[in-house]
Structure 1
Amino acid sequence: MIVTPYRLSLSVCAGSLLVLSVAPAPQAIAQVSAPATLSATILPPAAPWTGASERLIAAADDPWITPAEAAGFRTTPTYAEARAWLERLAAASPLVTVKQFGRTTEGREMILVRASKGGAAKPVVLVQGGIHAGEIDGKDAGLMLLRDIALRGKDALLDQVDLVFVPVYNIDGHEQRSAYHYPHIRGPAEKGRDGNARGIDLNRDYAKLDAPESRAMVGLIRALDPILYIDCHVSEGFDMQYDVTFTYAGWGRYARHRATAGWLESRFGPAVSRALTRAGHVPTLYPSPVDTRRPDQGIRQSPEGPRYSTGYGDFIGMPTVLVENHMLKPYRRRVLGTYVLLEAALRIAGTDAARIAAARAEDRASRPADLLTRWSPDPTPVGWVEDFKGVAFDTYVSPASGRPEQRWLGTPISIRMPIIGQIPTERVRLPRAWWVPREQSEVIERLRLHGIAVETIAAPRRLSVDRVRLIDPRVTQPREGRYPITAGFAHERAEQVMPAGSVRVPADQPLGLLAAALLEPESQDSFLAWGFFPEMLAPAPDTDAFVVARLGEHVLATEPGVKAAFAAKLRAEPAFAADPEARLAWLYAQAGPGHAFVLRYPIAREVD
């Protein structure tokens, strides 16, 4: 057995590559004529299952049967079909309202459904489906639960809380349906895409807010300030006996805000695990594998950044749950499990509303002195799962890949699994405040969208600040609509006059930790890391070589730090050492304050 079904600490940070159990040649895939055939062709057989949650399915002649139920869970409705069904439910029940809260990249209306008994304002549980539009279990589970709340006697779930449900977050991706999207997920027959219309993964966009969908959702979070936020997904990885898994950012070991993490571990996890088990499901915490080809190598536990829903919730002190249903379980079983989890979540949130409020208040009153920015795997396991409910596999040489691939056999096995934690390798001490030049309007806009407190000065102010210079920056592979940047950083103290119109971002505020994640250059989710300041990488203005050579000689003679860095670069990079133009350009970029942008981080850190 697992030591405790709700205390295993697992991470959702790192995705895992999928290895399909049977890999047909491309010609075979091309010949598949019906979407329903695809899963049966490439996925291992589904294990038989029955559970008490099957009683939740409406009868075939029920006038309020949902589209997925009516289709035997073989298909999922389009966004228009789901919206029409929800608007019909709202017309039939005073408990339900439907409203718009944003627009997608392609201009579609983003809707939410609020289920409430009205009266005095109640805390909100916010649930979203389809941020990854092929992982759509939450949408169909939510429709069933809303029906039963509005019309089938479960309205007591609304005695202490309101439910706000976003049926599909990534609507544009949802409508680009194909049998070949998410081939690792068993049903429905056609699924949407991972990214939005621009290919941006919205569950990597909470920090940088590039997509209109992300801005709408963060605006909704600010307006509702939910006591619980649930994000419904489906897993990748490997076969196992568990069907419904869930996780939180960092768990107790790595959570940035510990009070809300403690409530999730001690109250939410046990409550939903008990409910799922009673309903015939097999829950556990989401096992993020170290190596999908060798499950016995362990499961990963690590901190998270605010690019993810769970990481964002952790940074702002909002209890956030990631539901990761198991990909190889049939759609019907996954939807029913999600229903049970959501119902249990409403119950425990209502019971514990005051306790959650106290935990949030404690976290938001905290003022961390530093920010963890880098970590590496701990060579010693931080714990063990003594009886992980796995599935046996063998291997065969695939004619497609030409290498051994896994073939899952469906046979239950028990695995002793190590839990691989992380060792902190870099922390940065937070300043009193960050100073953003008024011309960095894109950054200032993002800070305000997050609700981070800022102040704009009306008159110049002289300060002692920490300035940052980039060392050997690199533009990495494009991701999420951006060209991320990696670099080393050199810090230096200086006196600087902040001109009128400069924006000060104090660290002493409830969202100070989020501000740090966005503005500290070492942070993996900083605006700098996402490539918001490309002007830093432009070369210095050109001039004649004989002038630059003499200027470089002067810098080497008068700046010991530059001289040492130049010598190290010559030793480490033979191509650089052999390139006269590159050598002069590098020295010119170091030459005093004349180059306002070159390798200089534009945001200053107020240190005293």
Structure 2
Amino acid sequence: MLTPYERDTNQTATYPQIISWYQQLDKQYDQAKLIEIGKTDIGKPLHLFLLAADKQFTARPNRVTLLINNGIHPGEPEGIDACMMLARDLLKANKLPKNVLVAIVPVYNVGGCLNRGVSRVNQNGPDTYGFRGNARNLNLNRDFIKAEAENTRAFQTMYQSLKPQVFIDNHTSDGADYQHVLTYFATQKDKLHPALAGYMTQRFQPEIDKMLVAKGFPSAPYVNHAGDTPESGLIGYNDSPRYSTGYAALFNCFGFTLETHMWKPYPARVTASYVFDEAVMRLCEREAQTILANQQRANEAVRQQKTFGLSYKLDRSKVDSVMFLGYEAAYKPSDVSGLKRLYYDRNKPFKKQVPYLNNFVVDAQIDKPRAYVIPQAWQEVIGELKRNGVTLQPLSKDSLLTVSAYYITDFKSPQRPYEGHYLHTGVKVRTESQKLQFYKGDYLVQTNQAANQYIVETLEPQGVDSFFAWNFFDSILDQKEYFADYIFEDTAAELVRKDPALRKQLEEKRAADKAFADNADAQLNFIYRQTPYYEKTHNRYPIYRLN
């Protein structure tokens, strides 16, 4: 039985061919099972293919679960074709790992896979392929926190059922030219618990790299470079939770984003994907007990962890180096513009050490509260938490609680949308202790959970990929009640007359800010905000900390 790719190595399988292939394997082998895990935005089901030597297709505490995702960007289809062959070969030769559940998403972005064409002008084959955006034109590899796509919601439910220890997301690179067919980046080590980070970087990755060299595919870090060309130095990827590997890291799973080089022949890219996925699987088999113990250790530590990073920045003071197989870069006049253009000379290959910056430090951090309180009005957020394995406790009766409340004091938003959102950055808050009324059915989220990293990073508004950053709470930024200036003038005058401290504040602000001093409305608004008439809910973040 041959895949469409094997019949013609410049073709990639269509969506019907992909699903039909796995259905045939399911019928032919007892060690294989194809299931539907939910819907996608285009209405087709999202599938998961499971391989288990013992024919037990659920996650179990004594074996590793390896999750492999394909076609999140269907124009990068190498993993789709490679996994079809890998699954068949493992079953046919009866060489399934004994202590690894292999879970393969045949094609994640079904809508993009069905939207077939030639949209990737920089890519060397196959003849036609899918499109990066899904049926809603979302980039699904930016959706793992906001979870707008049906695909993402189905993926999250499946992920929480499997709770994998190791994750692979198969991609194709874009950018510089170089000799490597295969590059990859691992989950950003400085965001992982030390038990995972140390093992991944010091043992797992070196072993993978040796296995790749033995198969003829020397690897390099994903080519994210500092200057015009890779020789200027490579920079580690800061995969925040919006990305697949960043999402997995929130649950103490380490992952790899594989990037085969877009300008290498398609067969070489498919083979590289096959080799990489198989190597990771075999190493999971060999190291199963260590991998399981490390995740369990990390889960327990995260339950007790008090301080969590919310954002990270590159530490440019620490520079390592890696061996890189590149091509000399030069400049020549453009045939289009006549101006200087970059090109890579494949007649001048080189092998040398290049600088590598892959150390990140915490840029903002927070101590977790004992619990968060979430009013039941915010059902979308509650649904997100439940789907991602977070335990919520509903209040059994109306309760008056003393909580720590945030007020949003500043943030920045772009002029144009990013993935359909005006993503908030640079968020600043002030804190007030308040006694607030909560109601039966509101929720407590205790922070003694293995999902603490997900809880804190999504619920703290200063998180890079928090729910606030992704506009889940923008309605609190709208003021609902105002004043009529011609009426409030008299009230404001009386307030200033009776309150010397308020009068002093007003005078000091006028003296310090000429624009304010020249703006009557601004001065009235300043006074209004100091009065009991000004609504307490304006800019008050509606998730509360219980300390």
Given the alignment of the two structures, is residue 412 of structure 1 paired with residue 352 of structure 2, yes or no?
no
Q: Which of 92, 102, 112 is residue 163 of structure 1 equivalent to?
A: 102
Tell me which residue corresponds to 1:371: 308
8 A Cα contact 1:536 1:598, kept in partner: yes
Q: Which of 397, 405, 415 is residue 467 of structure 1 equivalent to?
A: 405
Q: Which of 297, 303, 306 is residue 241 of structure 2 equivalent to?
A: 306
Given the alignment of the two structures, is residue 131 of structure 1 paired with residue 72 of structure 2, yes or no?
yes
Shift of 1:581: 4.3
Cα deviation, 1:245-297, whole Å, max 9, x if unaligned, reads 2222212xx12322223332233323322222112112123232223x23333
Shift of 1:412: 1.2
Structure 1 window deviating more from structure 2 (165-174 vs 298-307): it is 298-307
Equivalence map 1:195-594=2 (5 Å): 195-251=133-189, 254-291=190-227, 293-301=228-236, 303-366=238-301, 367-385=304-322, 387-398=323-334, 403-410=339-346, 411-420=348-357, 421-476=359-414, 477-486=416-425, 487-549=427-489, 554=495, 563=505, 567=509, 571=513, 580-581=520-521, 584-585=524-525, 588=528, 591-592=531-532, 594=534
Q: Secondary structure at the match of 1:509?
A: coil
1:444 and 1:389, CA in 2 relative to 1: closer, same or farther beyond 3 A?
A: same
8 A Cα contact 1:103 1:109, kept in partner: yes
Q: RMSD of aligned C-alpha atoms?
A: 2.9
1:265 and 1:422, CA in 2 relative to 1: closer, same or farther beyond 3 A?
A: closer
Cα deviation, 1:213-265, whole Å, max 9, x if unaligned, reads 011111111111223221111122311222212222212xx123222233322
Tell me which residue corresponds to 2:46: 110
1:372 and 1:566, CA in 2 relative to 1: closer, same or farther beyond 3 A?
A: farther
> 1:406 is matched by which residue type in structure 2?
L
Given the alignment of the two structures, is residue 598 of structure 1 paired with residue 535 of structure 2, yes or no?
no
Given the alignment of the two structures, is residue 141 of structure 1 paired with residue 79 of structure 2, yes or no?
no
Structure 2-normalised TM-score?
0.90
Shift of 1:447: 0.6
Cα deviation, 1:166-210, whole Å, max 9, x if unaligned, reads 11101101111221x222232222232222111222111112211
Identity %: 28
8 A Cα contact 1:227 1:353, kept in partner: no
Cα deviation, 1:54-82, whole Å, max 9, x if unaligned, reads xxxxxxxxxx121011112x121210112
8 A Cα contact 1:199 1:481, kept in partner: no
Which sections of structure 2, spanning at least 5 residues, go unmatched? none
8 A Cα contact 2:224 2:237, kept in partner: no
8 A Cα contact 1:250 1:304, kept in partner: yes
8 A Cα contact 2:221 2:236, kept in partner: no
8 A Cα contact 2:496 2:503, kept in partner: no
Shift of 1:360: 0.7
Which sections of structure 1, spanning at least 5 residues, go unmatched? 1-63
- Partners of 2:138 and 2:524 lie apart in 1 by 39
- Partners of 2:107 and 2:96 lie apart in 1 by 22
1:403 and 1:353, CA in 2 relative to 1: closer, same or farther beyond 3 A?
A: same
1:462 and 1:413, CA in 2 relative to 1: closer, same or farther beyond 3 A?
A: same
Given the alignment of the two structures, is residue 172 of structure 1 paired with residue 111 of structure 2, yes or no?
yes
Tell me which residue corresponds to 2:19: 83
Tell me which residue corresponds to 1:21: none
Tell me which residue corresponds to 1:150: 91
1:559 and 1:351, CA in 2 relative to 1: closer, same or farther beyond 3 A?
A: farther
Shift of 1:562: 12
Q: Secondary structure at the match of 1:515?
A: helix
Tell me which residue corresponds to 2:131: 193
- Partners of 1:314 and 1:481 lie apart in 2 by 25
Q: Secondary structure at the match of 1:157?
A: coil
Q: Secondary structure at the match of 1:444?
A: helix
8 A Cα contact 1:539 1:589, kept in partner: no
